[in-house]
Amino acid sequence: MVRTVSGRPGSVDSSAGSPSGAPPDFLGFPGFLGFRGFRRRWARFVRRHRLAPYLLILPSAAVIAALVIWPTVQIAEFSFQNYGLPQLTGSSPTQWVGLANYAQILHDPEFWLSLRLSVLSAVVMVPLTLVIGTLVGLLLSRLGRKMAAFVSSVSILAWATPAVSASVIFVWLATPDGGVVDWFLSKLPAWLGGGAHWAGFSWTNAALPAYTLATAVVVWLGFPFIAVSVLAGLRTIPTELFESARVDGGGPWTIFWRVTYPLLRPIFQVLFLLSVIWDFGVFTQVFIIIGELGQRDEYNLGIYEYATAFQLPPAYGVASALAFILTIILLIITVGYVRASVREGALT
């Protein structure tokens, strides 16, 4: 409705069409001013309760829930079912079996053998990776800027190498048909353990040599991450502390345990926990070294789970129960270790 306002013809009456003479919302869209008011109230609520960090991580949390939590829930559901090819194709209905899959796993001797191999291999792989990575990180901190950049780049190349490619290369180096490893060991003197008996030695026909080779691959792929993390931690320590320790007569070993390790202890705690998670259920390296599904006495938990799921006849329900057991084991280790670290004051 066009009326004369303030004596000017053709002006729009701002009170027309609005209740109680209130002006309409911006551009005539109802609710626009209400939306702006809601935004202001929401912003005050976020600032008052300090919700901004949680809102920023909400998209990432949603992605993690979709990619991790939901598949975990599905695996837990399958673990209570007799789920195989008939159920997958829909030719047979779902059969709920309760804890029968878990009972079958716990009564299987191969499960306990694979669990023992997983524990023993992790006991060797984790300390070796941490020690070698820490030594390389300490070395990098003592090198010049250019040499440190070169060594770091070479180490990162080893870390960035796909596990499949690295495993294939190590298998090729240790092949009994003219492999470099057997040739080198056969040329060593007898007092160093060398000799002609290493010629044509197979590294994949028994659990001990196979996991020795797998340990070498895992350490080769894992130590650069440890080294770079330790180097980054060392860069945060003031140099005055090391100089004071040297003035007081401390040697490299004393300085490391009295200065470096206490200050970098939270970093070592996290690196140790990550190494346990990565190495406990290592799959790719062992799978390639033992020749896919080779001898069953060489299975760790990862290979045993894969064989249960995909060997004919596939037992996806049993494999899901096994995956859930592995998840629970790692969760117990993680929670126990974190609680012990917090109790000691290493993590806050």
Domain range list for the chain? 1-50, 101-344
- CB atoms < 10 A from the CB of 125, how many? 25
- CB atoms < 10 A from the CB of 123, how many? 13
Q: pLDDT tens track of the chain, all 348 residues?
A: 444 444 444 444 444 444 444 444 444 444 545 667 777 777 788 788 787 788 888 888 888 888 888 888 888 888 898 888 877 777 778 888 888 899 999 998 989 999 999 999 999 999 999 999 999 988 888 887 788 888 888 888 888 888 999 999 999 998 888 788 888 888 888 887 777 778 888 888 888 888 999 999 999 999 999 998 998 888 888 888 888 888 888 788 888 888 888 888 888 988 998 898 888 878 889 899 887 776 777 888 888 888 888 887 888 888 899 988 888 888 888 888 778 777 766 555
Q: Is 0.85 topped by the overall pTM?
A: no
Helices (H), 143-260: 145-160, 163-173, 180-187, 207-234, 239-247, 252-255
The sign of the torsion formed by the CA atoms of 101, 106, 111, 117 equals positive
Superfamily of domain 101-344: MetI-like (1.10.3720.10)
Please name the residues in contact with 59: beta carbons below 8 A apart, sequence gap of 6 or more: none
User: Any idea what DSSP says for residue 8?
Assistant: B
Q: How far apart are CA 116 and CA 334, in angstroms?
A: 19
Q: Evaluate whether 315 touches 308 at the Cβ level (below 8 Å).
A: yes
Residue 299 gets the label, from left (phi > 0), alpha (psi -120 to 50) or beta, of beta
Written as six digits, the tokens of 65 are: 């829930």
Q: Evaluate whether 233 touches 318 at the Cβ level (below 8 Å).
A: no
- CB atoms < 10 A from the CB of 191, how many? 6
Q: Evaluate whether 217 touches 168 at the Cβ level (below 8 Å).
A: no
Q: Evaluate whether 268 touches 130 at the Cβ level (below 8 Å).
A: yes
